[in-house]
Amino acid sequence: MRQKPVPDALLPYLEGKVLLLDKPLRWTSFDIVKKVRNLTRVIKVGHAGTLDPLATGLLIVCTGKFTKQINTYMGMVKEYTGSLVLGATTDSYDLETTPENFKSIDHLTTEQIQQATKSFIGEILQMPPQHSAIKKEGKPLYLSARKGIEVKVDPRKVTIDCFEITNINLPTVSFRVVCSTGTYIRSLVKDFGEALGVGAYMSGLRRTKIGDFHVDDAQGWEDLEKEINELLTKA
């Protein structure tokens, strides 16, 4: 695809910018990339780490020559906050699919829930969700999963630096996780539920940090749109 002429007002985006964006719920990470391309008229746009459609929060987007830095940002430690529901599971490990396999959680204590996080600290092996964008033979797993076909994938080594329970209001538990790149928080939640013997699925997720970048410093999509339209108007 050839680069069409970019308006002078938007040349900084062609030269290269790092955008901190707060991804809205139900948008895919690639939705953001496509929208930035259309808005800035710059073809070379990429993001530094996928967020699932049902997650919100910090997404680093690079434009122009700064796309060369994507791997650096992608390798940075991530922080997430979220919530999970104990006593049931879903095929997708989140609310993309319907909860099932309901179990009683009446016997669980606060101490048991807090204690269960400790076995996940450090380097662990994690199985990616079938409902994920990981490709096998060039095909995203979620396409097969939606047809009820399970594809064999290998577990991955990830590092969990912090897994903190921040609030318990059963069946919902809130948490904070600091982890390496490549970690699936959905898989962590699923494994956590199995460790407690009752199952669990993720009910909410927000990425709050990537390295030293914080979501509090990120722009909403409407803010970026307004900023670029103002540049074009003044030009």
Q: Which residues are catalytic?
A: 52
Alpha helices in the chain (DSSP H): 11-15, 29-40, 70-74, 110-116, 141-145, 185-196, 221-234
Peptide bond between residue 171 and the one before it cis (omega within 30 degrees of 0)? yes
Sign of CA dihedral 92, 96, 100, 101: positive
Phi, psi dihedrals of residue 234, rounded to the nearest 5°: -75, -20
In sequence order, the 6+-apart residues with CB closer than 8 A to the CB of 14 are: 3, 6, 40, 42, 63, 64
Q: Which of 162, 125, 128 is nearest to 145 (CA)?
A: 128
Q: How many CB atoms lie within 10 A of CB 187?
A: 20
- Judged on CB neighbours under 10 Å (0-12, 13-18, 19+), 34 is exposed
